[in-house]
Chains A and B, each alone.
Chain A
C-alpha cells in the first residue's frame, strides 16, 4: 500500500523534534526533514499547520498535520507498518504512557534546571531531579532499553536524557548524572545514542555542543526568567 510522503518540520537541537524523528526511524518510515530556524522567524508553514502551539515538531502526512511529539510518536506507531513502538499488552502500554507523562510533567523541569541553574538554587533542583531520575531508571529493570531489546515509545520520550543532557552538562561544565549514582541510565544513554536504527537522526555531538555553546546566553536568560517566576 503506497502511503503519501511524510515530512517533518523540526529544528536542529530540539529534543522534541528529535522524538518525532526517532519514532520515524524506529518504525522505518522514510521522511523529509524541513528545518526551522529556532531563533529566527517561524515559517508561514509552521504557523499555518500548528496554529495552536506554533511549535515544532509538526508531522505532515498527506493532507494531515499532527503536533505534539508524543502524539506524533503514537500516530506513527498506528498509521504505518513496522516494528511496534508501544508494547502490545494494554497494561505494558499503560506503564509506558504513565512514565512518558512522568518524564514530561515531573522529571524534565527539575532535571534540566539542575543543568542550567547556577549558584545556590542548583542544589535543590539536582536533589529533586536525581530522585525522580532514580524512579525512572528503575523502569529499565535490567533491560537494555525501556522498550526491551530495542528502543520504543518510552525510550523516545526519554531522549533528552541522552544526547541533550550530555551536551548541556559539558557546555555548562557540570556533572549532574554520575555513573555510580545512576549506572543503568548512563549505560542506557550510551546504548540509545549509538543504536543502529537511530543513526540517521541522533544529532552529531559536536554540532549539538556548538549549538548550545552558541546559544548559551539565550538559555541562561530563559532559565533565570523561569526562576524568577517561581
Chain B
C-alpha cells in the first residue's frame, strides 16, 4: 500500500476512551502522533473544531479525515490500515464482538464503576448489578487469554477500562468489586492485557494513573453524587 498520510490522535492522559483508540493503533501497528489535551483546562480549538458534536476525546485525524467515538475509531483503524485484524473475520464472530462491546458500553460500565465510587447504601445495588453483568462478560473469555483469542482484539479494546483503570480505581476508592477468587479469569485477563507487548506504548503508567485519580478523587465523587441525584 502506498504511503499513508500521517495519523494524529487527540487524547488526554487518564481517559480510558482515548486509550481504546491508542490500543487499536498499537495493535494494528499504525504509527501515530499523540496530541494531549488537558482535561481540566479549556478544550483546545483543534478539539472543538474536529469534534463539534460531542466535544470529547478521542479524535483521530488521518490526513484530512476526522473520526470520533472510540469504538468507531477502532473499527476505522481496523479497516483503513493493513495489519493484524482487530475484529474476527467470520461475520457471526464479528456480531458477537460488537454485541459484547455494546453491552460493556450501555449496560456494564455504569453500575460496575458506580459500585466503586458510590458511598453508603446505594453502593450495594450497583455492586449486585455490576457483578451479575461482569459475570456475563467474563464468560465470553471461554478459556482464551483474550476476548480476541491469543492476542487482544476489538472486544479487549472495548473492555480495557476493566484492566488498568479498574485496578487504580480499586486502590483509590479502597473498594474491590471484582474479587480474584470470584472472577479469576477476568483478573488474569486484566494482568495479561496490561502487560501485552504490543500494547506497551499505550498502557498508562500505573503510578501516574494512580496519581491522576488520587488528585481528582473528589471531582469523581462529586460527579457520581450528581448522577445519583438525577
Residues of A within 8 A of B (CB): 52-53, 61, 64, 66-68, 71-72, 74-75, 78-79, 90-91, 93-94, 97-98, 101-102, 106, 135, 229-230
Contact = CB atoms under 8 A, between A and B. Distances in A.
9 contacts: A53-B107, A64-B92, A67-B99, A75-B92, A97-B72, A98-B72, A101-B69, A101-B72, A106-B53
Interface in B28-87: 53-54, 62, 65, 67-69, 72-73, 75-76, 79-80
Contact of A78 (B62, B79, B91): B91
A172 to B, nearest CB: 25
Contacts of A93: 75-76, 79
- Interface range for B: 20 to 34
Contact of A74 (B53, B54, B95): B95
Contacts of A102: 53
B68 A74 contact: no
Contacts of B94: 74-75, 78
A78 B92 CA distance: 9
Interface SS of chain A: helix
Contacts of B213: none
A66 B65 CA distance: 32
Given A66-B95, A94-B76, A102-B53, A52 B68 contact: no
Interface of B: 53-54, 62, 65, 67-69, 72-73, 75-76, 79-80, 91-92, 94-96, 98-99, 102-103, 107, 136, 230
A52 B137 CA distance: 10
Contacts of A90: 76, 79-80
